[in-house]
Each structure stands twice: as structure tokens, then as C-alpha cells.
Amino acid sequence: MIKEFKIDSVTLKNRYVEGPMAGFTDLAMRTLAFEHGASLAYTEMISANALAYGSSETLDMVKDTQKDIGPVALQLFGSEIPNIKKAIAIVETYGKYTFLDFNLGCPVPKVMKQNAGSHLLKDLDYLYTLMKTIVETSHHPVIAKTRLGFSNPEDIVNIVKTLEAAGVKAIAIHGRTRDEFYLGKPHYDSIAKAKEIATVPIIANGNIDVSNVDKVFAKVKPDAVMICRKALGHPTIFTDLLNHEEGKESVVDSFNNQKTLLLEHLRLEAESSHNPLKSALQMRAIAPTYFIDFPYARQMRTALVKCQTLSDYVAVLNGVVNPESLSGENNGRANV
């Protein structure tokens, strides 16, 4: 029996969640995650300021959630309370989502300069005021995605207490501090300490996949786990995790399976695109990840990053009749 987990009064059908990735987890990628078993998927981070100032491109990200085929956490980022209040009114009018998530983890200078993302972990009094306002303004359950702290991983305990006091209903924790960016091993022990004192569900995040998920569940005892980079080019990771939970073998990737998945990703992207040129450029980062574990990854990347339109990708993929004809050492994990 696959275990479920619950946030507030909402039951999620399993404990495998696709986390937010700016530039990647758009409607197409979320749809693939749902098709392959994810119980919850996050939008990319959406700027509260941009919504408040009327950006139509940002509003499109919100409207896209109306077409999601599974439960969505819509993630906002920002720091200014008046703009965040305006943004919540906008997402409630134009979006369709299950949870309102707030970003407390983004480490990039562009976001930090706005006092947003992980900058908010520096002042827990302000964090409390901000999150309480969000909880009071939102008609959806509010959840948060945080790092362990700004510099000190031990700060997570006080961060969790602050978020709970403000009324947040679940917390996803990336097991690194802001200073660690994406480097080094995640501190699962610090997430475990947070879980010990938490009264709301904790979603563990950072370098999790089938190979270590048992260890993470055993050590951290999270309510669920969040997968991000390992889902890039590999939406079937959610099926793999579900199979693993039931003691079944994962399906070994084949070139043809990966090609079919990427063609589906391209089809979904074309169907939901607001700007075909932008979508084609975005796929330059996504398409090569489908072949990253294959011996001919470099050749596929070289061909795919030249694509100018979504149809170009389809032409490249359909042109590769025999993947063995692409030279390269067969030292990847995948079978052809």
C-alpha cells in the first residue's frame, strides 16, 4: 500500500512531490510529473512585485495553474507586504491551486536584493509578521519552502517555530543554508531535528532519489520528500519511487523511452506556450537532460541546443533513427 500524506485537510496520494524550479517547472513539466505519479507539484517562483505591477507574462504563469491536472502549490516570492497582499488577490482571482507556497530559500543576488528568498531568514521577527499576514490574507492553506538558515544549519529549529506560530500548514526544507547554495551534501540531520519539533508536515529536500530515499525516510522521518533536479529529463522518477516503495524494480531507461518522454514534453510545451520563441529557448536547457545518462549525451546536446523552434527538436529526435550510430563510450547507466 502506497503511503499518503496530509497537509491541513488535504490528502496527497503519495509522499513524492515535485519541487519548484524557475525556468523548468512550468505547466508542461508539472503535467509530466503528475502523469508519472507525483502527488503535488510546485510552480516556478512567481514574483509578487511583478504581479502587483501588472506584468502580463507573470500573470500567464498564474493562469496556467487553471490547466494543471493535479494538486499544485503556487509559489510566490517577495518581501513587501503591500505588494504581496495585492499578489495574493491576483492569484486567488486568476489561479487554481491547492496551496499557496512562499519562497524563503532562493539564494540568487537578484532576489536577495529585493530582501526576498533566503534574505528573509535573517530577521525572524519580520518573517513572522510577513508570514502571518500572508496566512491571514490567503483563502488557501499557506505552506513555505525554506533553507536551513542563512549561514547556520541549526537555525532551522527557530525558523520552523516561527513559521508554525504564523500559521503555516507545511514546510519543505532544502537541507542547505543560503551560504551553501547547491554545494556539498545536504544536512539531513538538521532536517531531522526540525522534524522532531515540528507540529506541521515536513517535506525533506536536497539530492533525493531512489538510491537514498529509504535512508532519508529512516533518518529524517519526513512526511514526504521533494524531488527537483533529479526530475529534469526524468519525469519517470516518480513512478520509480512508487515502484521502489512497493518493492518493484525501476524500469531501465532506454533511448526510445527517453525520446518518447521528450516528445511528450515538447508537445505539452507547444500546447501551453504563450511565446513559442521563449519556449524553444527554454527547451535548450531541458531537452539535453533527457539524455544526460547516455553515452551519446554530448552529441545529443550539441544537436539539441541549436534548435530554434519547438519543431526543430522534434526533427532532431526523429532524425536519430539509430542511437548506436552516435559515437561515444557506452559507460552510462542506460541501456539502448
**Residue 191 Cβ vs ligand FMN, minimum distance, rounded to whole Å:** 12
Cβ proximity to ligand FMN: between 68 and 317 the closer is: 68
CA dist 52 and 185 (Å) reads 37
Task: Choose the catalytic residue: 106, 120, 198, 231.
Answer: 106
Q: Exactly one of 16, 34, 40, 44 binds ligand FMN (CB under 6 A); which one? A: 44
Count the residues of the shown chain that bind ligand FMN, applying the rule CB under 6 A.
22
- Cβ neighbours around 187 below 10 Å, total: 20
**Residue 324 Cβ vs ligand FMN, minimum distance, rounded to whole Å:** 31
Sign of CA dihedral 307, 31, 210, 6: positive
Compose the 259-298 pattern: x for residues touching ligand FMN by CB under 6 A, - for all others. ----------------------------------------
Q: Exactly one of 193, 229, 284, 301 binds ligand FMN (CB under 6 A); which one? A: 229
**Residue 322 Cβ vs ligand FMN, minimum distance, rounded to whole Å:** 33
How far are the Cα atoms of 231, 232, 242, 258 from residue 249, in angstroms, in the given order? 18, 21, 10, 18
With CA atoms as reference, report the closest residue to 314 among 262, 276, 273. Answer: 262
Supply the Cα-derived Rg of the chain in whole angstroms.
20
From 58-66, 223-231, 274-282, 298-306, give the range in contact with ligand FMN by CB under 6 A.
223-231
Check residue 22 for interaction with ligand FMN (CB under 6 A). yes
DSSP-derived letter for residue 205 is E
CA dist 133 and 82 (Å) reads 10
**Residue 69 Cβ vs ligand FMN, minimum distance, rounded to whole Å:** 21
CB 90 within 8 A of CB 99: no
Check residue 145 for interaction with ligand FMN (CB under 6 A). yes
The distance from CA 181 to its chain's CA centroid, rounded to whole angstroms, is 16
With CA atoms as reference, report the closest residue to 263 among 291, 230, 229, 227. Answer: 291
Check residue 33 for interaction with ligand FMN (CB under 6 A). no
From 13-21, 32-40, 187-195, 249-257, give the range in contact with ligand FMN by CB under 6 A.
13-21
CB 39 within 8 A of CB 49: no
Three-point CA angle 302, 303, 308, nearest 5° = 115
**Residue 205 Cβ vs ligand FMN, minimum distance, rounded to whole Å:** 5
CA dist 202 and 205 (Å) reads 10
- Note if 228 is an active site residue: no
Compose the 104-143 pattern: x for residues touching ligand FMN by CB under 6 A, - for all others. -xx-------------------------------------
Q: Catalytic residue positions? A: 106
Q: Which residues bind ligand FMN (CB under 6 A)?
A: 19-24, 44-45, 75, 103, 105-106, 145, 174, 205-208, 227-230
